[in-house]
Amino acid sequence: MDAFDWAVVAALWIIVLPVAAPALFREWMVPWLRGHVVSPRIWGAGYLLLGLGITAMNVLAHTGFAGSPPAILGGVGTALCGTALMAWAQYAHRPGRS
């Protein structure tokens, strides 16, 4: 990996960690998500998984595993699981419509 790829990974985690860590550990959400997210800890875990999946895809793209299906499915699967957790956190524990 060259310097640009490391800069992309660093920028990703500079964006992910300040938002996901307070949601995961303190149940604090950024102001623009407070009305939408019902379970902040689930949302924070999903955001961390999304960042981990994107990082895995970026790192594995520059190794010997570049085109292998396990590497691709691992990164994409982790990112999709994170996205699913973030979506679930917006609807979890909400009362149903009557």
Q: Which residue has the higher pLDDT, 87 or 58?
A: 87
5, 30, 37, 91, 93 from 96: Cα distances, Å: 45, 26, 16, 10, 9
* Threshold 0.85, pTM exceeds: no
C-alpha radius of gyration, the chain, whole number: 16
Summarised one tens digit per residue, pLDDT across range 26-52 is 989 988 888 888 889 999 999 999 999
For residue 64, pLDDT over 80 is answered with no
- For residue 66, what pLDDT is reported? 67
Q: Kindly tell me the burial class for residue 22, based on how many C-beta atoms sit within 10 Å of its own C-beta (0-12, 13-18, 19 or more).
A: middle
Answer yes or no: is pLDDT of 80 > 60.
yes
Total Cβ atoms within 10 A of residue 16: 19
